[in-house]
Amino acid sequence: MKKSLVSRGISRSRKVVGRWALAGGPVRRGLYYRYISEAFGREERAVDAGITAYHGTLGTGKELFTLRRNVHMLEKGLTMRPRRDEFALGYIGSTVQAFAGVHRLGAASGVGVDESRWMHTVLTEYFEATSRSTNPKIERLRATFRDLEPIEPTRVSIASGPHLPQGLPPAVSIEKLTELAMNRRSVRWFTGQPVDRTLVDAAMAVAAESPTACNRQPYRFEVFDDPESVRRVAAIPMGTAGYAEQLSGIIVIVGDLSAFFDERDRHLIYVDSCLAAMGLIYGLEAQGVASCCINWPDLPDRDKAIAALLGLPSHERVVMLLAYGYPDPSGLVPYSAKRPVEAVRRYRSLTRPAD
């Protein structure tokens, strides 16, 4: 009881001081966030833990984020016009070393067959493109790479590396895509009928095709589809009161800050995760499965609770949650009118006035 009273007293004091600080100027707010509030301190600690974890993977054969980023940059270099005879000298060494580690560990490295095929194909094309270079570094690394066998040599495909854009007509017309987008609603009332995991996986396959910065893919989906787990997870974020008890499934989208070596990239877990989240939502919707985005509040007690429940390391942060299930035909959904295109876009030119 005494501890509870003390905790409540501290909480109230922080709120009072917070209102005073936020009503003041930048100096007052700076002191508040530096010495009293944990709002940015928790992000700072998570970013620091992520950078530490990133460096901890180097030389282990499991530096997957490094390898994805570097191979992606190599692939971009191979698409340049004109293609240069010599490039990527600053990171080709670490790339070959990382790929050799993946080759050594095989499936235990965590790299899938398609990824290993892509990496091998891009490195093969890199050393072919730089074949006229006499740079001793490239020659040495070419010999090192030549001694490695691809993890899945029989599956190497030209489509795994740089290739021409698909010349086929679009699989989905703009009219159909617009219809899907306009008919989508945030559904909070579900039938309770379980959603087959093959449908969820199919939607996640769509999500996984979303672009990410340097192809690092710094997120994952934690899926819960049994009633007790769904109930416990849904109870943590705010905004689920009144409907959390009847959700069919819930997905926690987790961002991994160990994908980055520098604090400049700390926001990419949010950008990349949310690009994937929209693909996931449309993937579910296209199969008749409704969903509802659940905002994740950046609050210390919520962070601590979800991290404990999911067993998250200090360098991983929850980005958002997504409830899903078959919509109850008798349940109402908000209309939520959207702004017109004219209100959200401006065509710009630096040589004439904006349209």
At 105 the pLDDT is 86
Percent of the chain with pLDDT over 90: 70
pLDDT digits (tens, 9 = 90+) for 5-14: 666 666 677 7
Percent of the chain with pLDDT over 70: 92
First to last CA, the chain: 64
Cα dihedral sign, 78-79-82-87: negative
Strand pairing report for 290-294 and 249-256: unpaired
At 16 the pLDDT is 73
At 154 the pLDDT is 42
- What order do you get walking across the sheet with 316-325 strand by strand? 219-224, 249-256, 316-325, 290-294
Element (H, E) at 319: strand 316-325
Cα-atom radius of gyration of the chain, to the nearest Å? 24
Q: Stretch 237-243: mean pLDDT, rounded?
A: 90
- Asked if residues 54 and 259 have their Cβ atoms less than 8 Å apart, the reply is yes
Domain 176-325 grouped into CATH 3.40.109.10: yes
**Cα separation, 259 vs 50, whole angstroms:** 7
pTM confidence score = 0.87
Q: What does the block give as tokens for 291?
A: 């969903």
pLDDT digits (tens, 9 = 90+) for 206-217: 999 999 999 999
Report the length, in residues, of the chain: 355
Mean pLDDT of the chain: 90
Domain locations along the chain: 58-158, 176-325
Amino acid at residue number 310: L
Of 325, 47, 90, 6, nearest to 196 (Cα)? Answer: 325
pLDDT at 142 over 50: yes
Amino acid at residue number 247: L
